[in-house]
Amino acid sequence: MLFENIKQKLMDNNINLSYQRLKIIEYLIENPYHPTVEQIFTELHKEIPNLSKTTVYNTLRLLSEISLVRTVSIDDNQTRYDINVKNHGHFKCESCGNIYDFNIDINNENVYDLKGFKIREKKVYFMGTCRTCL
Ligand SMILES: [Zn+2]
Ligand SMILES: [Zn+2]
């Protein structure tokens, strides 16, 4: 989603477009490696010295409540944040730890073994070594 669309969605939900919130959103758009609260805080704190980790956490929670971000957890216990809310696959590099998005037509995967089941969410995870690390 574009920055402008996101701003519009925040306004539609009566969420104040504070400088810090917008910076967090901008960071997620520019750094689609699925950062943790810790990583976002560490990077943005250099630029915004009065930013607190609580603000980062609360902003991300607010954004996920209105479906602007998704949480991603793979093999570790760390919650990572994803601004790409369309269904897509994740590739985790076991060397650098970055998580990359890839397009996959998850909705058209027919899983006959689950006939009669109600699927709430579909996740696709691949693991290996990314191009940069190779
Ligand atoms: Zn890598
Ligand atoms: Zn993703």
Could you read off the pLDDT of 33-88 as tens digits, one per residue?
899 999 999 999 999 999 999 999 999 999 999 989 999 877 667 889 999 888 88
**How far apart, in whole angstroms, are the C-alpha atoms of residue 82 and residue 71?**
6
In the reported structure, the alpha carbon of residue 106 is separated from the centroid of ligand 1 by a whole-number distance in angstroms of 24
Specify burial of residue 97 (Cβ count, 10 A radius: 0-12, 13-18, 19+): middle
Three-state SS at 89: strand
- Considering every ligand atom shown, identify the ligand nearest to the alpha carbon of residue 97 and give its number: 1
| Model pLDDT, residue 73 | 77
Q: Say how many Å lie between the CA of residue 97 and the centre of ligand 2.
A: 14
**CA 117–ligand 2 middle distance (angstroms):** 25
| Share above pLDDT 70 across residues of the chain, in percent, rounded to a whole number | 98
**Can you give the pLDDT at residue 45?**
96
Average pLDDT, the chain: 90
Counting ligands in written order, which one lies closest to the CA of residue 70?
2
Residue 111 confidence class, pLDDT cut points 50, 70, 90: confident
User: pTM to 2 decimals?
Assistant: 0.81
86 CA from centroid of ligand 2 (Å): 8
Query: What is the number of residues in the chain?
Result: 134
Do 83 and 25 contact (CB within 8 A), yes or no?
yes
